[in-house]
């Protein structure tokens, strides 16, 4: 265990083996830091925070800060961080509002510079949350989701397994699993094909996911009928996650960005020497 002489560490902090605490860190009381964690310069770990094993926390991150809420309780909840996470510079993760609640971060996540995880969020494992992303209170991010830079996620929204949210998107409804959200329009633009391929999903599995996607976004059925068809036609994972996710939504799901059949999209301005360049959509 290595503690820099300029670090301020409460005497009742529970430190695991081979922990490294860099210069000017502040570790308050009621904190647990697991084996092999490395804290760079200026990291602040506040009361009510637990870190698992082998986490790497970069400069100026603040873990366990009080909730940003107009009615902050005197005794808020906790922050629980799993194993093998990388938290880059100036990441902030806040404690839950209720004394008995926990803000959670799973295992092997990468949170890039200035990412913010608000009170009562639940982030799964193997996610990537990139620079300047803001997760509002009570947001849920499922395993292997990818949230691009400067995305703002409204409180109580959910982002499903292996979903991909494009940069600067404004997420105000639930993002179903396996879909791709365009950053410019903040609307769904199909399945996250690259993420599915990298996750090792085979051709047959992707085909089932496409069929389930079409039921959700292309069938034009009433919502109850969509849920019934998802439950009946896709009883096995991973396609069954569409029903599981959609049946639990309270905010509704993000709409699809799709032009009407026969519409045309102008790609660039016509010059005097050129004919109009248009692409048929639909």
Share of the chain above pLDDT 70, in %: 91
pLDDT over 90 (residue 268): no
Give CA separation, 30 vs 13, 79, 122, 169, 224, in Å.
6, 11, 21, 37, 48
Under the banding of pLDDT at 50, 70 and 90, the label for residue 72 is confident
Alpha-carbon distance 106 to 248, whole Å? 21
Under the banding of pLDDT at 50, 70 and 90, the label for residue 261 is low
Q: Which residues pair with 165 in a beta bridge?
A: 147, 181
pLDDT of residue 260: 53
pLDDT over 50 (residue 13): yes
Burial 159-170 (b: 16+ CB within 10 A, else e): bbbbbbbbbebe
Q: What tokens does 46 get?
A: 């506040």
Nearest-CA neighbor of 179 among 198, 201, 195? 195
CB-CB contact of 234 with 212 (8 Å)? yes
pLDDT of residue 258: 80
pLDDT over 70 (residue 264): no
pLDDT over 50 (residue 273): no
* Residue 14 CB-density burial (10 A; 0-12 exposed, 13-18 middle, 19+ buried): exposed
Nearest-CA neighbor of 43 among 6, 97, 68, 12? 6
pLDDT of residue 31: 98
pLDDT over 50 (residue 274): no
Domain ranges of the chain: 2-195
Alpha-carbon distance 63 to 47, whole Å? 9
pLDDT over 70 (residue 89): yes
Provide the 10 A C-beta neighbour count for residue 183: 18
Catalytic positions: 119-120, 137
Q: Is the peptide bond before 134 cis (omega within 30 degrees of 0)?
A: no
Q: Which CATH class is domain 2-195?
A: mainly beta
Instruction: Summarize pLDDT for 187-241 with one digit per residue, the tens.
Output: 999 999 999 999 999 999 999 999 999 999 999 999 999 999 999 999 999 999 9
Q: What is the mean pLDDT of the chain?
A: 93
Under the banding of pLDDT at 50, 70 and 90, the label for residue 271 is very low
């Amino acid at each position: 265990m290595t503690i820099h002489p300029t670090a301020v560490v409460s005497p009742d902090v529970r430190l695991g083996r081979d922990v490294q605490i860099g210069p000017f860190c502040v570790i308050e009381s009621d904190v647990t830091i697991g084996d092999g964690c490395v804290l760079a310069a200026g990291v602040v770990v506040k009361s009510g925070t637990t870190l698992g094993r082998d986490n790497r926390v970069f400069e100026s991150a603040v873990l366990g800060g009080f909730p940003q809420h107009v009615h902050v309780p005197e005794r808020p909840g906790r922050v629980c961080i799993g194993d093998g996470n990388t938290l880059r510079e100036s990441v902030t993760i806040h404690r839950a509002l209720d004394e008995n609640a926990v803000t959670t971060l799973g295992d092997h996540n990468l949170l890039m510079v200035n990412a913010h995880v608000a009170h009562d969020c639940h982030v799964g494992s193997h996610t990537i949350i990139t620079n300047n992303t803001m997760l509002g209170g009570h947001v849920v991010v499922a395993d292997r989701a990818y949230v691009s830079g400067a995305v703002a996620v409204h409180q109580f929204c959910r982002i499903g397994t292996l979903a991909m949210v494009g940069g600067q998107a404004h997420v105000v409804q639930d993002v179903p699993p396996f879909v791709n959200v365009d950053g410019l329009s903040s609307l769904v633009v199909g399945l996250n094909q690259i993420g599915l391929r990298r996750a090792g999903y085979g051709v047959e599995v992707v085909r089932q996911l496409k069929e389930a996607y079409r039921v959700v976004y292309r069938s034009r059925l009433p919502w109850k009928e969509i849920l019934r068809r998802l439950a009946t036609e896709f009883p096995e994972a991973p396609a069954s996650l569409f029903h599981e996710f959609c049946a639990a939504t309270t905010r509704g799901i993000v709409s699809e960005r799709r032009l009407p059949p026969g519409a045309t999209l102008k790609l660039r301005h016509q010059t005097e020497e050129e004919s109009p360049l248009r692409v048929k959509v639909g």
